[in-house]
Structure 1
Amino acid sequence: MARSTNTQFAVAVHVLTYLADVTEGRTVSSEELSESTNVNAVYVRRVLGPLRDAGLVRSRPGIHGGWQLTVDAADIRLDRVWSLLQGTDRVLGRHEPAPTCAVGRTVQGSLDTLDRTVADAMTTELGRFTVRDVLRGLPTPKPSPQGE
């Protein structure tokens, strides 16, 4: 099964949850967040930039600088985090068919419709959860019955 290569949302949720859990108002360095997420500190800062611009976190430069939450974890809905990082980017992958292929033109229009449908459904589902919910542990979803 193919995996998404865009990890920004996952890293953002991890970092926001980490800040909500361990900081108690403490400023956390990018390096500490990097160790927790197992990604480069530059990547952590890149992911946190849009969240800072939206007012969810703040950063302080300098030797004792770092990151802090500015909003209660219960008020940070995951659909907002997704929108800040994903924007209007496509959810489903896409290819470019041969320009002369009539089937390809039809498929692309259908894929665009599916992409909007999937993106809307995902945003709706993410809107049901907050960073606090993640911190407390989400229940494992029940598998949906196949063939319905």
Structure 2
Amino acid sequence: MSANSRLTIAAHALVWISLYQRQGRGVATSEQIGGSANTNPVVIRRLLGDLRRAGLVESRRGVGAGWSLTRELESITLLDVYEAIEPGPLFAMHRATPNQGCVVGYGIQPAMRGIYEGVEETLRRELARVTLEDVLRDVLAAPR
């Protein structure tokens, strides 16, 4: 199973847009952001579409097209970003109902559901305490 990088790429895009704008530039293009993330601009556009639906970015079409933030980084948490791009649960149950005649098949989902709820609660609590301003500060402080 591969790790999901959507949260990392979305945070990268938002922090990049903010830094770009703080440098006095206008809107950022998905090509520019994709170049920074070394990711196809189509992937960036899809993520930014999710972030737009959540009200974190806005887009401009036509001449001067691109993306800009709708809020300051200090008011956007990693939880805001996570909820915008990952609408479903972190973990899922079986696609088909396990054999209810088997002791493990009968009890596995209730047992795992409780564990998963605890993990998700911890994840949400940790993501809620970190703003994208915190992320930008750490990015700028990273040794080169």
TM band (smaller chain): 0.7 to 0.9
Indicate conservation of the 8 Å contact 1:9/1:81, yes or no.
Answer: yes
Q: Distance in 1 between matches of 2:61 and 2:113?
A: 42
Closer, same or farther in 2 for the Cα pair 1:94/1:39, shift >3 Å? farther
Q: What secondary structure is seen at the aligned counterpart in 1 of 2:67?
A: strand
Indicate conservation of the 8 Å contact 1:74/1:132, yes or no.
Answer: yes
Q: Percent identity?
A: 32
The alpha carbon displacement at 1:113 in A equals: 1.5
State which drifts further: 95-104 or 50-59. Answer: 95-104
- Counting only pairs closer than 5 Å after superposition, residues 98-113 of structure 1 correspond to structure 2 as 98-99=98-99, 100-113=101-114
State which drifts further: 21-30 or 63-72. Answer: 21-30
Instruction: Return the structure number with greater helix share.
Output: 2
- Counting only pairs closer than 5 Å after superposition, residues 1-148 of structure 1 correspond to structure 2 as 3-4=2-3, 6-24=4-22, 26-87=26-87, 89-92=88-91, 94-95=93-94, 98-99=98-99, 100-137=101-138
Q: Report the residue type matching 2:16 in the other structure.
A: Y
The alpha carbon displacement at 1:104 in A equals: 2.4
The alpha carbon displacement at 1:3 in A equals: 4.2
Q: Distance in 2 between matches of 1:98 and 1:79?
A: 32
Q: What secondary structure is seen at the aligned counterpart in 2 of 1:68?
A: strand
Unaligned runs of 5+ in 2: none
Aligned residue pair count: 136
Tell me what 1:143 maps to: none
Per-residue Cα deviation, 1:80-137 (whole angstroms, up to 9, x for no partner): 11111112x2323544574243202312221111111111110001111100000001
Q: Distance in 1 between matches of 2:46 and 2:123?
A: 23
Q: What secondary structure is seen at the aligned counterpart in 2 of 1:62?
A: coil
RMSD: 2.1
Indicate conservation of the 8 Å contact 1:97/1:105, yes or no.
Answer: no
Q: What secondary structure is seen at the aligned counterpart in 1 of 2:62?
A: coil
Q: Distance in 2 between matches of 1:101 and 1:14?
A: 46
Indicate conservation of the 8 Å contact 1:76/1:130, yes or no.
Answer: yes
Q: Distance in 1 between matches of 2:98 and 2:110?
A: 14
Indicate conservation of the 8 Å contact 2:20/2:28, yes or no.
Answer: no
Tell me what 1:144 maps to: none
Q: TM-score, normalised by structure 1?
A: 0.81
Q: TM-score, normalised by structure 2?
A: 0.83
Q: What secondary structure is seen at the aligned counterpart in 2 of 1:23?
A: helix
Q: What secondary structure is seen at the aligned counterpart in 2 of 1:67?
A: strand
